[in-house]
Amino acid sequence: SSGINAEWPLRRAQAKFTQYYDYCKTNVESFLISINEKLQSYPPDNFSNFCSTFHNELDKAFKLERPKCSKRTPLNNPWITFGLIKSINTKDELYESWKKAQKVKCVAPDTSEKPAARNNCDCKTCKKIITCYLEYKAHRQVLKRLINLAKKKFYSDKISEYSGDSKKLWEIINNIRGKSRHEIKPSFKL
């Protein structure tokens, strides 16, 4: 034996993050309008009434009906933009339509037992399955390329921003390598 340890270190899985509130720009704007209207029309007579009004309006504007649980959050992936999120949702919808199309049985007797035979079938059902898959595949490839470009641009901007500060530069390099300690900080401050 050569004495070389060829084992790769196992990467720790990123913890999932549960999001109960959505502090997007439109929600912040609607919150500011509603709290302003509420406080002007019904001024609170003491601090506890103000706090209850504030919390009620906060929940109305920001609280999600169903909490989101994901490792892909703006805190973990700051390069993911609103447009990319919309594209990810479109990809998910295309995937669901492809899976839904697969559940429909083909009218040709040869293809029902062999899914690979659907590629040669000319029926409407098999053509729809193939079309749905090709749409999903094309969108997935473009999305993957866009996410990689956004990530590269994000880190290249960060590197050029901190080119004179070696400590910050090494923090960024270690973050890219997956060797950083993540501190989840609130993205919204009052």
pTM, two decimals, is 0.55
In residues, how long is the chain? 190
Return d(Cα 180, Cα 170) in angstroms, integer: 10
Q: What is the pLDDT of residue 116?
A: 63
Q: What is the pLDDT of residue 118?
A: 67
Q: What is the pLDDT of residue 72?
A: 61
Query: Rounded to the nearest 5°, which phi and psi values hold at 64?
Result: -80, 145
Q: What is the pLDDT of residue 127?
A: 87
Q: What is the mean pLDDT of the chain?
A: 80
**What string of pLDDT tens digits covers the 190 residues of the chain?**
444 444 434 344 445 667 788 877 888 889 999 999 999 998 889 999 999 999 999 999 988 888 877 666 666 788 888 888 889 989 999 999 999 988 888 877 665 556 566 677 888 888 888 899 999 999 999 999 999 999 999 989 988 988 888 888 888 888 778 776 655 555 555 5
Where does residue 146 rank: exposed (0-12), middle (13-18), buried (19+ CB within 10 A)?
middle
